[in-house]
Every structure is written in structure tokens, then in C-alpha cells.
């Protein structure tokens, strides 16, 4: 009951957070140089045509009227219409969001599996050659620019070895019939196992490129947290009872060391959802990052506003989920 009450309060707190986010995004976007009407009609358009289009789009209205018109749309669940394509943003953003979400999930699975286990083994084998090598790789991973890593992956694995594709989500000669827009799930539903392998191959390079920095951060945080927990009295007691070191580390120490690790995983997942534009551009991935980036070039205000608001909502919901997982990982945490 306490957990339900806490969850309801946190969900209600989303309202002022997202309202503030919408105001900030709306204000910043209006400061972008350029005229959407001129971008749509082109440089050769007459001043009258530009002015007429501005009137139709409501760009001549005062900023507060434009904001409240946008807010009324959001409240009714309508993200508006793209100025560039004329399509409903609610329908248009779906496939892009699905592509980014699929890439983010694969990247975070790679980051969590490798990062957590590397951090655990580094703490377990503190000051060993493995510890030094793992932390050196983690330092390189944090420092390595994503665009450089992505280009090196394309050069080595796609161009030289020809093992993996370098761009896109699937084989353009044999396109996938999208049902949920999550291609892995769609190919499994359709029973198309050859296409499933194609989708997985297209995910490997961008997934590794995007997951390298979170992997390095998770490894370092896991190591620090595990070292602190493994000095605790209950861990020494478990060792004194004669338990194998594997069970001491993975059963007794890991669960209590997961609180800071969960926090980092939640933050990194939210950041990847909104910050994958470089990876998506390099690998030709049709995700929401590229969608918003293209909209910025087109001065497509509704798309930029709605895209950022959707990402912000997901980011806050992920943090809420992480907060709720704290109580599962550590029963000493009580919600009131």
C-alpha cells in the first residue's frame, strides 16, 4: 500500500516537471534562427506567400498564444502536425521511437552484462592483472568518442572483414513487414528466422558503439560499490562460515551493491534514448535522434517540441522505475 501511494505521488510529480520542460523547450526552440515558412517554401518564395503561410501556421501569433495552443494539443494526446511533412506527429514518431528503443535495449544489455560482471570480477580480484586491464579498458571506453568508434567498427568489421552490415536496420532487398515496429519482435512473430538474423547483425555494430560508454561507467561504479560492500561485517561472516567465494560475491555482496549501479543504469538508459543521434547518423539508423535532428534543420517546431517532450517523459518514467526497484533490491528501503 505504501509503495502504491508513493508511486501515485511520483506520477503526479511528473506533471509540473513535464510542464516546466515544455516551457523551456518551447522557449529555446523559438530562439533558433530561421523562419519555418521560408524553409518550407524555399528561398525563391515571394514575401506574400511566406507571410500567408506564417498566418496559416499560427507563427504570427504572440508566443504565449502559440504555447497555450500547443499545450491544449498535448493535454488531449495530440502531438500536433509536422510543418515539413504535414503528417500527424503521433503516428509519424512511432517507428522512429521504436527503432531507438530497440537499439537502446540492445546497447544496455551489452553494457549491463559486460559492465556489471567486469566490475564484480575487478573487485573480487582487486589489484590483479584482470583488475588493472578491466579498469584500463573502462577508462578508454569512457574517453573514446562514439563517432570515432562507430567509424572504426564500420571500417574493420563491415569494409575489411565484411562480417556485418554498416548501415540501416534490415536488408533493403528483403524488407521486414513491420507489425510492432520492433523488428526483432516482428520477425519472431512472423517466424522469419533468416530475417531475425539480419536484424541482429544490423544491431551489433551500433549497439556496441552506443553501449561502450555506459558499459565503462557501469563497470567502474560496480567495482567501487562491490569493494565497499565486500568489507562489510556480514560478508566476512559469510566467508567465516566457509561459503565458496562465488556465493559470497554473487549472492551476499552483489545485491547490496546494486543500488548505485541501478541508478547509473537508469540514467544511462534515459540518456541513450535521447542522445543516440551520433550513432544513428553514422549507422544510418532511423531513430528518434535523427528524426529530431532533421526537424531542427527544417525548423519544424512541433516535431522538435514533441520529440523532446516524449523523450523527457520516458526518461522520468525510467527513473521512477529505478526508484521502485530499490525496495526490491534492498528490503530495508521503505516508501511512505
pLDDT for 71 equals 81
Tell me the pTM.
0.84
Q: How far is CA 226 from the centre of its chain?
A: 26
3-class DSSP state of 244: coil
pLDDT for 50 equals 76
Cell of 6: 508513493
In a domain, 154, yes or no: yes
> Which is more confidently placed, 332 or 64?
64
Q: What is the DSSP secondary structure assignment for residue 159, as one 8-state letter? A: I
**C-alpha to C-alpha distance for 50 and 277, rounded to whole angstroms:** 31
Going by pLDDT thresholds of 50, 70 and 90, the confidence category of residue 273 is confident
Average pLDDT of every residue of the chain: 82
In a domain, 51, yes or no: no
The answer to whether 309 touches 15, Cβ cutoff 8 Å, is no
In a domain, 186, yes or no: yes
Task: Return the top range by mean pLDDT from 174-188, 205-219, 221-235, 271-285.
Answer: 205-219
Nearest to 206 by CA among 105, 98, 310: 105
In a domain, 328, yes or no: no
Question: Domain of 102?
Answer: 89-286
Give the end-to-end CA distance of the chain in Å, rounded to a whole number.
9
Percent helix, strand and coil across the chain, each to the nearest 5: 75, 0, 25
> Which is more confidently placed, 150 or 336?
150
Whichever domain contains 148, its CATH number is: 1.10.3720.10
Upper half-sphere CA count for residue 292 (Cβ side, 13 Å): 21
What's the structural domain count of the chain?
A: 1
pLDDT for 331 equals 63
Pairs from 87-96 (Cβ < 8 Å, separation ≥ 24): 89/302, 89/303, 89/306, 89/307, 92/303, 93/288, 93/291, 93/303, 93/306, 93/307, 93/310, 94/181, 95/178, 95/181, 95/286, 96/286, 96/287, 96/288, 96/290, 96/291
Segment 143-168 mean pLDDT: 86
What are the DSSP E strand ranges found in 146-237? none
Q: What digits encode the pLDDT tens for the residues 218-241? A: 999 998 888 888 877 777 777 777
In a domain, 80, yes or no: no
Amino acid at each position: 500500500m505504501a509503495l502504491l501511494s508513493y508511486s501515485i505521488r511520483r506520477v503526479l510529480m511528473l506533471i509540473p516537471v513535464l510542464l516546466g520542460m515544455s516551457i523551456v523547450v518551447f522557449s529555446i526552440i523559438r530562439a533558433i534562427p530561421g523562419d519555418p515558412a521560408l524553409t518550407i517554401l524555399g528561398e525563391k518564395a515571394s514575401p506574400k506567400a511566406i507571410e500567408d503561410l506564417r498566418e496559416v501556421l499560427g507563427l504570427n501569433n504572440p508566443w504565449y498564444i502559440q504555447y497555450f495552443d500547443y499545450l491544449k494539443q498535448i493535454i488531449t494526446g495530440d502531438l500536433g502536425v509536422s510543418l515539413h511533412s504535414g503528417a500527424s506527429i503521433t503516428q509519424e514518431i512511432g517507428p522512429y521511437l521504436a527503432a531507438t528503443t530497440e537499439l537502446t535495449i540492445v546497447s544496455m544489455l551489452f553494457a549491463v552484462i559486460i559492465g556489471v560482471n567486469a566490475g564484480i570480477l575487478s573487485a573480487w580480484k582487486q589489484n590483479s592483472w584482470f583488475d588493472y586491464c578491466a579498469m584500463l579498458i573502462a577508462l578508454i571506453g569512457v574517453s573514446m568518442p562514439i563517432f570515432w568508434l562507430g567509424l572504426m567498427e564500420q571500417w574493420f568489421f563491415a569494409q575489411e572483414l565484411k562480417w556485418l552490415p554498416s548501415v540501416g536496420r534490415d536488408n533493403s532487398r528483403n524488407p521486414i513487414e513491420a507489425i510492432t515496429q520492433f523488428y526483432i519482435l516482428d520477425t519472431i512473430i512472423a517466424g522469419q528466422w533468416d530475417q531475425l538474423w539480419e536484424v541482429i547483425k544490423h544491431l551489433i555494430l551500433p549497439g556496441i558503439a552506443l553501449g561502450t560508454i555506459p558499459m565503462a561507467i557501469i563497470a567502474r561504479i560496480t567495482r567501487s560499490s562491490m569493494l565497499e560492500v565486500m568489507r562489510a561485517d556480514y560478508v566476512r561472516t559469510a566467508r567465516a562460515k566457509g561459503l565458496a567465494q562465488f556465493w559470497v560475491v554473487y549472492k551476499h555482496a552483489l545485491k547490496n551493491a546494486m543500488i548505485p549501479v541501478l541508478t547509473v543504469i537508469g540514467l544511462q538508459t534515459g540518456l541513450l534514448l535521447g542522445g543516440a543521434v551520433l550513432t544513428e547518423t553514422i549507422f544510418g539508423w532511423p531513430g528518434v535522434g535523427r528524426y529530431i535532428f532533421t526537424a531542427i534543420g527544417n525548423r519544424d517546431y512541433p516535431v522538435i517540441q514533441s520529440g523532446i517532450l516524449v523523450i523527457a517523459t520516458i526518461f522520468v518514467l525510467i527513473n521512477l522505475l529505478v526508484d521502485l526497484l530499490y525496495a526490491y533490491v534492498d528490503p530495508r528501503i521503505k516508501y511512505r
